[in-house]
Chains A and B, each alone.
Chain A
Amino acid sequence: MPRLTIDGKEIEVPAGANLIEAARRLGIEIPHYCYHPGLSIAGQCRLCMVELEKNPRPQIACNMVAMDGMVVHTQTPKVLETRKSIMEFHLINHPLDCPVCDQAGECWLQIYYMKHGLYDSRFVEEKVHKPKAVPLGPHVILDAERCILCSRCTRFCDEITKTGELGIFNRGDHSEVGLFPGKVLDNRYSGNVVDICPVGALTDRDFRFQVRVWYLDTQKSVCPGCSRGCNIEIHSNVRRPHHAQGRRVARLKPRYNPHVNDWWICDAGRYGFGSIDQGRITFPQLREGGLLREVTWREALALLIDRLRAYGPDEIGLLASPEMTNEELFLIRRLAETLGVKNLDFQVPPREPGDEDDFLLRADKNPNTRGAEAIGLWPADRGLDAWEMLEALRREQLKCLWVFHHDVTRCGWPEGAVLEALQAAQCLIYTGSNVNGMTERAHLVLPAATYAEKEGTFTNFEGRVQRIRKALPPLGDSRADWEILGECLEALNAGPKPNRPEEVFRALAHAVPAFAGLTYRDLGEYGLMLREVAHGASR
């Protein structure tokens, strides 16, 4: 491990680390545009110049591997002057149109000009003009005048997606980023180029001009789009709701996790948040004479308990969902145990097989299948599985079915048979977030919060337990599943309702060996793996 000195401080870094990474470990930020730890080194922007002792001229830090005994200076007059000149150079042909640029507030030209530029503009000539507001694909739009030609976007398409749509064409001050003639930037990960573009050249067609970024609130979470469980940030707009017609989730951004998704997320996950604000069920409803009527939670819960008590354990089925958190699934298991219900399952086949690739996307479009397996949401001895429950409904052996989140009217099972079964149910309870085929049929509809509106954990396909956090209050009267289940268990005299999911997680870690020893605090930023357990031990 090489040991070097940067700005008078000694540090040991892993072999192969460059000077930007070495300095970062000391809390010293070397400014840069083109360097990105997930991409190859381009040495294009020249902003990361530092001075090395015994070296006559400043060198770029991104392409300089830390060596034993190196003495590096990042704050000498020569370095500061070089940075300033390079900033001036980058901004020569830039239109300086921050007031109408959507990147303003999170633009590295603005940030670095204030930190390292602060020169007075000397450029009086006509600037070079380039294409503006060019859609590159379904999600990304280009303003070539704002581009600083860092080549991050082209390297992303060459190295990460290997789709090669983008290039930097022409020469000198006429160089511009663009698509190969006839190509469209429509790969499954195209949105990432917006994140890595350090300036306002590439912006997000869905997000731009909705709300200024400084009005956004951010919260760490995990994408529920598939079983990869990519780490994300939810950016919500609650301070300026009138700027986006009440749309609360402004955008999702990837959050770095070296064990799961590095710096990236897929477009399906990135743009799949519409259901958080649209088509929601916002209050409990009861079907009377074929019509749904709004009821209070008090009425709804009383009815729920009444129904669960009215039927024998063999007449009740519980269909949980791998969209629910570990905590919630654990509470369902407890509910099944409390009621003595053995008809318990969580899996329903999807209508179409999910999209999968060898990068991030997983065919299983549920965030917590592994968690449901580990907690053991299976039929208890000789209980019915999901399909058998439907068949038993049709035969009127099962009387009451409580379905969480699944829209079984739109799944891989024959629709006719499913509808017939649901029709035959004496009592169909549905807990979900969005209006769908189930809300049209259920006798009691309980509105559930989405993943963005609650705390909890998901377990990804590899067995990594990761936290989701509450970015928004539940819409309308909706409540988190753990709260609904907690109330229900309390009413059934199965212990006091939990105040926080963390309490449930503690109980879960106590009861399910796969989770033993895990705590919210230890899960930290990157999550932790389930304890290796012998197959079936957690059932």
Chain B
Amino acid sequence: MSLAGQMIAFTPAQLDEVRRLQALYPDPRAALLPVLQLAQEAFDFISPDVEQYVAGLFDLSPAHVHEVVTFYSLFFTKPVGRHVVSVCRTLSCHLLGAPDVVAYLKERLGIEAGATTKDGKVTFFTVECLCACEMAPMMQVNDRYEGHLTREKIDRILERLE
């Protein structure tokens, strides 16, 4: 149950939140997704150890939790940087310059899509449609959508990241 020596366990406050979420549904298992989100916030990414821990909170098999985690692309199964940048590469964005955005990010960050910068600051992914064609080409930076991207705008966004 440990990762790099660190115990995988929610704080009492987080556990209260788990119980609250489970109580919302007739079948407590329905709370699995929000609890996994909580776990991702708490432990940065969902390792098999985290899956096992969460499975214990639900009396599910760890394999079942792994099914859910791997079904959704927004759960990270490997460590990511402090910031996550996801560039849309679907049609509208593609036509309006997503390939340039990707090429520029690779150059600025010095990494390929899917990788994390050496200092652990940024992970960047290419993803399918984020449902914001009106601001193509666009990307998601942590919880924010950033659209109408240009090289200058990308520079400014990256500079803001701690």
Q: Which residues of A approach B to under 8 Å, CB–CB?
A: 154, 157-158, 164-171, 179-183
Contact = CB atoms under 8 A, between A and B. Distances in A.
Given A180-B51, A181-B48, A182-B48, 15 more contacts: A154-B63, A157-B63, A164-B62, A169-B66, A169-B67, A169-B71, A170-B71, A171-B70, A171-B71, A171-B73, A179-B63, A180-B48, A180-B61, A180-B63, A181-B66
Contacts of A157: 63
Contacts of B121: none
B64 interface: yes
Q: What are the 10 closest A-B residue pairs judged by CB atoms, nearest first?
A: A164-B61, A167-B63, A180-B63, A169-B70, A181-B48, A167-B67, A171-B71, A170-B70, A180-B62, A164-B63
Contacts of B67: 167-169
- Which of the listed residues A165, A170, A180, A182 has the most CB atoms from chain B within 10 Å of its own CB? A180
A287 to B, nearest CB: 57
Contacts of B51: 180
A462 to B, nearest CB: 32
A510 B105 CA distance: 91
Contacts of B48: 180-182
Question: Interface of chain B, helix or strand or loop or mixed?
Answer: helix
A166 B48 CA distance: 14
B33 to A, nearest CB: 14
Contacts of A166: 63
Contacts of B70: 169-171
B71 A167 contact: no
B64 A164 contact: yes
A81 B64 CA distance: 34
Nearest to B60: A164
A442 to B, nearest CB: 52
A471 B44 CA distance: 60
Contacts of A179: 63
A183 B63 contact: yes
Nearest to B47: A181
A94 B51 CA distance: 31
A185 to B, nearest CB: 11
Given A180-B48, A181-B48, A182-B48, A165 B63 contact: yes
Contacts of B63: 154, 157, 164-167, 179-180, 183
A134 to B, nearest CB: 15
Nearest to B70: A169
Contacts of A170: 70-71
A158 B63 CA distance: 10
Contacts of B61: 158, 164, 167, 180
A182 B47 CA distance: 12
Nearest to A179: B63
23 contacts: A157-B63, A158-B61, A158-B64, A164-B61, A164-B62, A164-B63, A164-B64, A165-B63, A166-B63, A167-B63, A167-B64, A168-B67, A169-B66, A169-B67, A169-B70, A170-B70, A171-B71, A179-B63, A180-B48, A180-B63, A182-B48, A183-B62, A183-B63
Nearest to A154: B63
Nearest to B52: A180
Nearest to A183: B63
A182 to B, nearest CB: 6
Interface string B19-41: 00000000000000000000000
A169 B70 CA distance: 6
Contacts of B66: 167, 169, 180-181
A181 B50 CA distance: 12
A539 B72 CA distance: 67
B132 to A, nearest CB: 22
Contacts of A183: 62-63
A122 B1 CA distance: 49
Contacts of B71: 169-171
A157 B51 CA distance: 18
A164 B70 CA distance: 17
Contacts of A165: 63
Nearest to A180: B63
A538 B73 CA distance: 69
Contacts of A168: 67
B121 to A, nearest CB: 28
A109 to B, nearest CB: 24
A346 B70 CA distance: 57
A105 B48 CA distance: 39
A182 B66 CA distance: 12
A127 B19 CA distance: 44
Contacts of B73: 171
A157 B63 CA distance: 10
A157 B61 CA distance: 10
A165 B67 CA distance: 12
B120 to A, nearest CB: 23
A164 B61 CA distance: 6
B65 to A, nearest CB: 9
Contacts of A164: 61-64
Interface in B64-82: 64, 66-67, 70-73
A182 B63 CA distance: 11
A154 B62 CA distance: 12
A167 B55 CA distance: 13
Nearest to B71: A171
Contacts of A181: 48, 66
Nearest to B61: A164
A158 B72 CA distance: 22
- Which of the listed residues A165, A181, A182 has the most CB atoms from chain B within 10 Å of its own CB? A181
A167 B71 CA distance: 11
